[in-house]
Amino acid sequence: MENRLIITKYSEQYYPPTPNNFTLFLRRSIFFQLIRFFILNYKIMKIVIKGHS
Amino acid sequence: MANIVVLGAGIAGHTAAAYLQKGLNKKEHKITVISPTPTYQWIPSNIWVGVGKMTPEEIKFDLRPLYKKWGIEFIQAKAQSFYPEGDEHINTGFVEVEYNNEENKGEKIKVAYDYLINATGPKLNFEATEGLIPGNGNIASVCTFGHASHAWELLQSKLDKMKNGEKQIFVIGTGHPTATCQGAAFEYILNVDFEIKKRGLEKQAQVIWITNEYELGDFGMGGAFIPKGGFISNTKLFAESYFVERNITWIKRAGVKKLDDHTIYYENLDGEYLEQPYDFAMLIPGFAGHGFKAYDKTGKDISDKLFAPNGLMKVDADYTPKPFEEWTIKDWPETYQNPSYHNIFAPGIAFAPPHSISKPMTSKNGTPIFASAPRTGMPSGIMGKVTADNIINWIKTGNATMIHKASMGRMGAACIVSAGYGMRKGTAATMTVSPVVPDWEKFPQWGRDIKTTMGEPGLAGHWLKWLMHYMFLYKAKGLPFWWMIPE
């Protein structure tokens, strides 16, 4: 990862996980994200319904 | 006839007013909303105003025509003092308010009530941090649409400087040792970074997060555990990963004490006094109550009966001081009813929380440095609705039992953390937590229901946030079937 090269080793920023190219592709893929959009809506609605009960 | 007065027209106050007018016959009952400004603003979209993606006009509207249509009286005024028992001339509770409109500015009037909803939100306590003045020099804020509009102007000037080859340091985060609302600052830093990179200016920019959180991802709710990629990990990893991916560095456990034109002065939990240079700062101020006073029938000051020492209103919470290890969700209020005067309620940010959600930390010099409890849009809206439902039930049945409840220890919340605007290239993290306040008795392992607590970055999150902007403004405007949209 390009960013990882400019981060000082052994600093706090050196350790956290970073997404690989496949994960980044999925985050930007219109088709995959369209599916996730409906799933996320469903998950949020579950929280909303519970909050109003 | 019942006379209901709502102080404040933000998310909690406006939601309460909307459900009151829907549930009560307005020929029999009177509803009055008192607010210093006649506009409603959808605060979560301030972030997009602050990076020039929306104008203030797109996130606000004039409440007066709507209230006229709904039969609600609107008074443009600021609350000053509370008289819950009335005085020698008025036998019912009343509030003294000062007009804030052009015609009557400065004039004070008494507004009587049978039921009072105090939804005045927080005072943005900028003065608690020396030099933290939005609009002054290189200091911006996104707390109001006006602040956010100025933030965009300032950001543009910095982008222009970078285009001319100047390096700029952007510092965004919390501007007080016990500030809350980290989520808004988190969104803003990600959006600023997105706009910088979109213009190819990242080599000229250093973007730094400064926070009073013990660890990143605390967000004032003690962080959360979320299942992802075969692990259950803390939001610390989630937030750090977001920053590392974007090459944003961070300063944590920092209590900002002072700013001058180019330097932020802060103390950390180790007791060190440090400095951070900046060219652009957007730091969330501390929140406080508005400093209202309350008097009994004889004129004796009874402010301590209505308000906690921080100026926020006392409600049905357990305010008994106790150590962090003994905190439970039972400490948190359910009905937002004042324990001394049962016809007064305080939903939204106006109520005094029993304590923070994050563990209180103190520096070696004795300075408290930790995130205060957040109360975001969704819980505030639910509290406003529950308050209205209880008052409607009280009026209709004559039974003062509070049958509707909404504790932050039981309700969940969804938060969409924008990280860049764009229908194709935008991104946001969709976060849900249930409950908001961790319930370690019911969920001993993770504090929350791990099946409904999540954090997921992606383009879909941006679509959701964009949809919610229009959906909640539609609801706030009282357009057809508004009440079918949940809070």
CA distance B454 to chain A (A): 9
Q: In this complex, which of B244, B434, B486 lies closest to A18 when CB atoms are compared?
A: B244
- Cβ atoms of B437 and B221 within 8 Å: the answer is yes
Which of A4-42 are b and which e, b meaning 16 or more Cβ less than 10 Å from the residue's Cβ?
eeebeeeebbeebbbbeeeeeebbeeeeebeebbeebee
Distance CA B50, CA B191 (A): 9
The β-bridge relationship of strands B205-210 and B123-125 is unpaired
CA distance A21 to chain B (A): 11
Model confidence at A6: pLDDT above 90 = no
pLDDT of amino acid A1: 42
- Mean model confidence pLDDT for chain A: 84
Q: Give the number of other Cβ atoms within 10 Å of residue B26's Cβ.
A: 13
Q: Which residue of A has its CA nearest to B426?
A: A28
Distance CA B318, CA B161 (A): 52
User: What does the block give as tokens for B109?
Assistant: 């009037």
- Cβ atoms of B201 and B426 within 8 Å: the answer is no
DSSP 8-state secondary structure symbol assigned to residue B307: B
Omega before B435 within 30 of 0, i.e. cis: yes
Tens of pLDDT along chain B (487 residues)? Answer: 899 999 999 999 999 999 999 999 988 999 999 999 999 999 999 999 999 999 999 999 999 999 999 999 999 999 999 999 999 999 999 999 999 998 999 999 999 999 999 999 999 999 999 999 999 999 999 999 999 999 999 999 999 999 999 999 999 999 999 999 999 999 999 999 999 999 999 999 999 999 999 999 999 999 999 998 899 999 999 999 999 999 999 999 999 999 999 999 999 999 999 999 999 999 999 999 999 999 999 999 999 999 999 999 999 999 999 999 999 999 999 999 999 999 999 999 999 999 999 999 999 999 999 999 987 778 999 999 999 999 999 999 999 999 999 999 999 998 999 999 999 999 999 999 999 999 999 999 999 999 988 999 999 999 999 999 999 999 999 999 999 999 8
Is residue A2 classed as helix, strand or coil in its secondary structure? Answer: helix
Q: How far is C-alpha B78 from the geometric centre of its chain's CA atoms?
A: 19
- Cβ atoms of B186 and B219 within 8 Å: the answer is yes
Contact between chains at B243 and A16 (C-beta distance less than 8 A): yes
Query: Exposure of B233 by Cβ count < 10 A (0-12 exposed, 13-18 middle, 19+ buried)?
Result: middle
pLDDT of amino acid B26: 85
- Domains in chain B (CATH in brackets) are 3-124+290-397 (3.50.50.100)
Our CA angle for A19, A20, A24, nearest 5°, is 70
Contact between chains at A3 and B382 (C-beta distance less than 8 A): no
- Cβ atoms of B95 and B108 within 8 Å: the answer is no
Chain B CB contacts of A47 below 8 Å: 412-414, 432, 434, 452
Residue in B142, B349, B133, B364 with CA at minimum distance from that of residue B261:
B133
| Test the B interface: residue of A24, A32, A37, A49 with most B CBs within 10 Å | A37
DSSP B156-168: HHHHHHHHTT--E
Q: Which residue of A has its CA nearest to B378?
A: A48
Can you state the angle between helices B182-198 and B235-246, rounded to 10 degrees? 20
pLDDT of amino acid A7: 62
Distance CA B242, CA A31 (A): 23
- Cβ atoms of B160 and B204 within 8 Å: the answer is no
Distance CA B432, CA B446 (A): 14
User: What does the block give as tokens for B287?
Assistant: 């929140």
Average pLDDT score over residue span A45-53: 74
Residue in B309, B313, B311, B312 with CA at minimum distance from that of residue B321:
B309
pLDDT of amino acid A5: 53
Q: Which residue of B has its CA nearest to A41?
A: B464
Give the side-chain half-sphere CA count within 13 A for B351: 36
pLDDT of amino acid B446: 96
User: What does the block give as tokens for B218?
Assistant: 């605390």
Helix (H) / strand (E) containing B32:
strand B30-35
Q: In this complex, which of A12, A27, A49 lies closest to B458 when CB atoms are compared?
A: A27
Is residue B231 classed as helix, strand or coil in its secondary structure? Answer: strand
How would you list the strands of the sheet with B454-458, edge to edge?
Answer: B413-420, B427-433, B454-458
DSSP 8-state secondary structure symbol assigned to residue B217: T
ipTM of the complex: 0.90
Contact between chains at B413 and A51 (C-beta distance less than 8 A): yes
Query: Exposure of B3 by Cβ count < 10 A (0-12 exposed, 13-18 middle, 19+ buried)?
Result: middle
Altogether, the residues listed in chain B come to a count of 487
Is residue B430 classed as helix, strand or coil in its secondary structure? Answer: strand
Residues A52, B1, B7, B8: is their CA dihedral positive or negative?
Answer: positive
- Cβ atoms of B286 and B178 within 8 Å: the answer is yes
pLDDT of amino acid A52: 57
Q: How far is C-alpha B89 from the geometric centre of its chain's CA atoms?
A: 37
Query: Exposure of B227 by Cβ count < 10 A (0-12 exposed, 13-18 middle, 19+ buried)?
Result: middle
Contact between chains at B461 and A40 (C-beta distance less than 8 A): yes
Does any CB of chain B come closer than 8 Å to the CB of residue A28?
yes
User: What does the block give as tokens for B57?
Assistant: 């006009």
Does any CB of chain A come closer than 8 Å to the CB of residue B232?
no
Helix (H) / strand (E) containing B377:
helix B377-397
Distance CA B31, CA B65 (A): 15
